[in-house]
Structure 1
Amino acid sequence: MAEKDALSAHVVDAPVGTPALDIVISAPSYGHPLVLMSMTPEVVVDGVVAARGWGRWIVPVGPGAHSVVVYVNRFGEFQYPAQLEVEVPAAARATVYYRLPALRHCSAAIGTTPQRSAGAGAMAILLLLPVVMAVAGLALVVLLLIAVA
Structure 2
Amino acid sequence: MTVRAILEAKGRQIVAIEPDTLLASAAKVLADRRIGAVLVLSRGRLQGILSERDVVRSIGEFGAAVLTLPVSAVMTRNVVSCRQTDTVGSIMELMTNRKFRHLPVVENGEIIGVISIGDIVKSRLREFENEQQALQDYIKTA
TM-score after normalising by structure 2:
0.32
Q: Considering fraction of residues, name the structure with more strand.
A: 1
- Rg (Cα) greater in structure: 1
Which structure has more relative contact order (CA 8 Å, sep 6+)? It is: 2
Q: Considering fraction of residues, name the structure with more helix.
A: 2
TM-score after normalising by structure 1:
0.31
